[in-house]
Structure 1
């Protein structure tokens, strides 16, 4: 479990969820983007809560290890979603350049039929 501080809120998240959150927040900041994610957490009162967070370059998130032995909330679906978004952001493929006639540009190697 990790103790995560986000926008004046203190939350407990499983390690995988906390690390996915930090990785995605870092990538969004690096790319000058923002996004909203939802995770299941344990709030200050000890109850499980759904937390919707807006991540951007201006937000500060801290995560620290804990020795709490409580079972972390289930976040497998949310973690997979965050990792998909992270992968899509980091591995974006730029569109292939095209010629003025709409055909794709492939350097000096144009197929015979063009």
Structure 2
């Protein structure tokens, strides 16, 4: 589990979610793009929360390891989305010629 600080708020995320949140934020910043990501986390009070992060080139995000014994909820679907989007940003597919709209054959 990792301790994540964003916009003066602190939460706990599972390692994979925290790592990919940071990586996706970095990729978006490099590309000058923006996205919002909603994740399940644990607040400092120990309760499960849903949190939405606005990610862009100005995002200030800190992740650090923790020895907390809580079990953070998983975010497998969102992690998959961040992985795919990061891959597309960092290694976009090659450009293709558009189909000729005047070709009637």
Q: Please state which band the TM-score falls in when normalised by the shorter chain.
A: 0.7 to 0.9
Q: What aligned pairs does 1:19-98 form with structure 2 within 5 A after superposition? A: 19-96=19-96
Query: Could you tell me how far apart the structure 2 residues matched to 1:26 and 1:75 are?
Result: 19
Residue 14 (str. 1) matches residue 39 (str. 2): no
TM-score, normalised relative to structure 1: 0.80
Query: Is the partner of 1:51 in helix, strand or coil?
Result: strand
Could you tell me which runs of 5 or more consecutive residues in structure 1 were left unpaired when the two chains were aligned.
103-114
Deviation of residue 97 (structure 1)? 5.8
Runs of 4+ in 1 over 3 A off after TM superposition: none
Instruction: Tell which has more relative contact order, 1 or 2 (C-alpha 8 A, sep 6+).
Output: 2
Give the CA RMSD over aligned residues.
1.4
Figure out how many residues of one structure are paired with residues of the other and give that number.
Answer: 99
Contact map agreement 2:4 2:18 (CA 8 A) in 1? yes
TM-score, normalised relative to structure 2: 0.86
